[in-house]
Structure 1
């Protein structure tokens, strides 16, 4: 995805303005669901003392302070060679020149993975999203620049999200925007057996405001949100309801500079994250880049040393090795959590040491991958959960007694 330098500067300027104004609720225009298709689940909480308890949906999954979503545009193979093993754990590729004579490998080391915890004693690896073009996915040659079907499937199965980026990454005059959107959806469904539900506008030379055509066709053809040149975000106040209906968001990019002797550029991006995290609000922040190999691909990417430093710093500061405040999850996963969070109705009644909890659920779209509900429980008492076998529930009632996780089928 090639973007003019003037456009990048515009992104960065807009981003600085958004940091100061991001903590705003974006209205209440929500998609309505059929009330006849709602259902109710229930369970009981057994307290060790009869202190008064409050229960409400957690702003973010696992009751985290901030969600950070990161997307790799264009489906370049460096995602599989370097980013995936670094985050998930495994052998990072050694330097590897692709068909374009560009080194999209890494440093050849073994990574133990980068993690945050779920608050229940389990470590979860950092996960990203891939914005892919079905027309570029292939198995040959061996040194191809783009991902293969099997590589994408492996990352998808590990929890990475796959986003629609157009079938051919077409932007120039004469592009059939409807076909670009729908053919890519069909291609991924046929080859990987799932339906994409979020769209990322391809960048490049095109007719004036061509991105508006992509936005329209994506939202009219089954996609819940579009990442584009301009829009809301990229920082959202997750303490309040978020207007997700036909959401169009602004992209900001993390990119390496010409400086290869230090990590000063990455430190500036990390400082921005620090300023966002220090806000009292619970927040969701979303960013992008392209390649993550040793070469700054198209000068719109992160060189692997920068990417490794950036992600490792995030993990050490906000992950399981740090204050464990981050929910490092891709765009679709966070979107789906907030969508469900804002539509459930939680009711509970306390009778001394027993609390009966009822949750009314909306009809959940078929394309959703994630259907988990985190409840924040405020109590000084230890507790246990009593429920039927059909309901999968985790709790920290014997330790920090602050959250309950309900995993819907």
Structure 2
């Protein structure tokens, strides 16, 4: 039977209105979920002494260094504060200090002037390390405790050392709730120190095969941008081109003392490897790890303080501000965040005679990021000065000396 035409039109119209309404609602909802991140812009003027054409781009590494070197101390042992911190930052190194495990976590009792690299503009910056800690072990339990206190961790953090998630209890055995270890350690550090960790280091120890995969999965799904584990990228990462940091898993390389305590032959072998890395033609990022750095080789998984001092001093003398100044000695999180930002900014500049207007588009940055800095290289034979009336960033350069480098620190 043929349906009359006047009955078809209202029916179709109703259906179309319903479909169209659903589509519009879905489109609006979709727009809300895929709105692009908010960018902001910073700009400044470069005033040249001559009118030759300039070239400006983001430096591969902060301060336009050749080698980013990150060194992490696992497990939050107190020797980090007693020996490594004063050696690198400058201060009184602890003398012999026997802890609750009858192990000496002290050093040689000397005064250190610190170990430094420069910001490329003549300002010295002390070497800084990362600390992978377990919140459940941190506290003022006794004067002979083997682990750090909250006050000690905070002091190191406040001077630029980074704190990495290492699980709440350093749990690895059968039955471990890996998700809880990750999330509750994040909560512990947030409650006691006031910030949220963003990098995870898989704890080692007695375990079921493949346990690290569960840590990796749960860490990356719950706030960690990258994970140090047993297998993965590294130990050398070429940063000359864009680096894929998405859910990055990094393979740890440990520096440890040998049973032979005569001389520094073991450290010399590690230094030979370091030298070969530093000689690579492209800018690179290199990571190393250890555990304790006291006089005793804690659990035979550590560096004795004499070895640690010898190793770090040799690197500083050759590659720091006393040497060729090739090194950017910064913790893992700081380097990660620089590269992330470097690969996402957009630099635009227009030159008219002796003036260059530079505009940098900065993407929305994660709240848990600690660092918001970028270095620019500028190719010009001319000396220059920088003018800026903006207050949302600080800028410095070597325009009157080498006229090659511009350092920018964004305000939060």
TM-score (norm 1): 0.91
2:115 maps to: 114
2:405 maps to: 403
Once the two structures are superposed, residues 327-369 of structure 1 have per-residue CA deviations (whole angstroms, 9 ceiling, x without a partner) of: 0000000000000000001111111111111111111000111
**Residue 140 of structure 2 corresponds to residue 147 of structure 1:** no
1:328 maps to: 329
**Residue 267 of structure 2 corresponds to residue 258 of structure 1:** no
2:77 maps to: 76
| Superposed counterparts of 1:65-144, under 5 Å | 65-144=66-145
Equivalenced residues, count: 378
| Aligned partners of 1:33 and 1:363 also within 8 Å | no
| Displacement of 1:121 | 2.0
| Superposed counterparts of 1:225-240, under 5 Å | 225-240=226-241
SS of residue paired to 2:157? helix
| Aligned partners of 2:37 and 2:363 also within 8 Å | no
| Displacement of 1:34 | 5.5
1:164 maps to: 165
| Superposed counterparts of 1:194-233, under 5 Å | 194-233=195-234
| Aligned partners of 1:33 and 1:362 also within 8 Å | no
Alpha-carbon distance in structure 2 between the residues aligned to 1:178 and 1:77:
27
**Residue 280 of structure 2 corresponds to residue 279 of structure 1:** yes
Alpha-carbon distance in structure 2 between the residues aligned to 1:189 and 1:251:
26
Of the structure 1 ranges 107-116 and 379-388, higher mean CA displacement relative to structure 2 is found in 379-388
Q: Following superposition, which runs of at least 4 residues in structure 1 exceed 6 angstroms of deviation? A: none
Alpha-carbon distance in structure 2 between the residues aligned to 1:296 and 1:377:
47
1:311 maps to: 312
| Aligned partners of 1:289 and 1:300 also within 8 Å | yes
1:301 maps to: 302
SS of residue paired to 2:179? helix
Q: Which has the larger radius of gyration?
A: 2
| Displacement of 1:35 | 3.2
| Aligned partners of 2:229 and 2:252 also within 8 Å | yes
Cα 1:37–1:306 shift into 2, 3 Å: same
| Superposed counterparts of 1:162-201, under 5 Å | 162-201=163-202
Once the two structures are superposed, residues 303-328 of structure 1 have per-residue CA deviations (whole angstroms, 9 ceiling, x without a partner) of: 00000000000000000000001000
2:367 maps to: 366
Once the two structures are superposed, residues 284-313 of structure 1 have per-residue CA deviations (whole angstroms, 9 ceiling, x without a partner) of: 000100000000100000000000000000
Give 5+ residue unaligned stretches, structure 2: 1-32
Once the two structures are superposed, residues 53-73 of structure 1 have per-residue CA deviations (whole angstroms, 9 ceiling, x without a partner) of: 100000000000110000000
Once the two structures are superposed, residues 227-269 of structure 1 have per-residue CA deviations (whole angstroms, 9 ceiling, x without a partner) of: 0000011211111111000010100000000111111111111
SS of residue paired to 1:37? coil
| Displacement of 1:389 | 3.7
1:23 maps to: none
Cα 1:69–1:341 shift into 2, 3 Å: same
SS of residue paired to 1:155? helix
Cα 1:287–1:34 shift into 2, 3 Å: farther
**Residue 247 of structure 2 corresponds to residue 241 of structure 1:** no
2:64 maps to: 63
| Displacement of 1:36 | 4.6
Give 5+ residue unaligned stretches, structure 1: 1-31
| Aligned partners of 1:34 and 1:363 also within 8 Å | no
Cα 1:34–1:122 shift into 2, 3 Å: farther
Cα 1:233–1:376 shift into 2, 3 Å: same
SS of residue paired to 1:35? coil
Cα 1:36–1:103 shift into 2, 3 Å: closer
| Aligned partners of 2:83 and 2:106 also within 8 Å | yes
- RMSD of aligned alpha carbons: 1.1
Cα 1:33–1:352 shift into 2, 3 Å: farther
